[in-house]
Amino acid sequence: MNCIFCEILNGNIPCNKVFENDNFIAILDAFPANEGHTLIIPKKHFENIFEIDGEILKEGYFIAQKIANSIKKSFGIENINILQNNGALAGQTVNHFHIHIVPRKENDNVIIKSTPVSIDNEKIKNIIDSIKSNM
Ligand code: 5GP
Ligand code: ZN
């Protein structure tokens, strides 16, 4: 399998590691959106949120909180985005599940923005029914 994060985990590609335990590593992003942009990566290859084991997912977000707190102290900042992309249309470029921690600063270059779409009440009802019944 041709997976850059598996190659990093196997030690074949160097990385800047800030955290490691039995199930995860956290590394600095090679093309950071801001100073301190960190990726939390499970050691086992799961492609995305649909594939990842639930207990591992929980641990990943627990680690995200831990690292977010550490980044907050390290950079003296109060604002952080925690992001996670699934699928090419959602911006996923590395198909090995990972959580982004992006520290935010005043007037930085990070753009996470959308304009609202209008959805009529009938459609909203269908959306609710559909989500509930597929859960
Ligand atoms: P995605 O777009 O899949 O959510 O995020 C993938 C992230 O991995 C990107 O932010 C990208 O900069 C980062 N990335 C890609 N290749 C490497 C690499 O070889 N090393 C590190 N540390 N990060 C990488
Ligand atoms: Zn992988």
| Structure confidence by residue, pLDDT tens digits, 63-107 | 999 999 999 999 999 999 999 999 999 999 999 999 999 999 999
- For β-strands 38-42 and 79-83, DSSP reports them as unpaired
9 lines ligand 1 (CB under 6 A): no
**Mutate-to-test residue for ligand 1 from 94, 100, 112, highest number of ligand atoms within 8 A of CB:** 94
Residue pLDDT, tens place only, 34-52: 999 999 999 999 999 999 9
Hey, what are 100's tokens? 């982004």
H/E element, 121: helix 121-134
pTM (two decimals):
0.97
Q: So where are the chain's domains? A: 4-110
Residue 17 phi/psi, 5-degree rounding, is -90, 135
Nearest-angstrom CA–CA distance, 81 and 100: 8
| Per-residue confidence (pLDDT) for residue 39, from 0 to 100 | 98
Q: Model confidence over 100-113: pLDDT tens digits?
A: 999 999 999 999 99
As a CATH number, domain 4-110 is 3.30.428.10
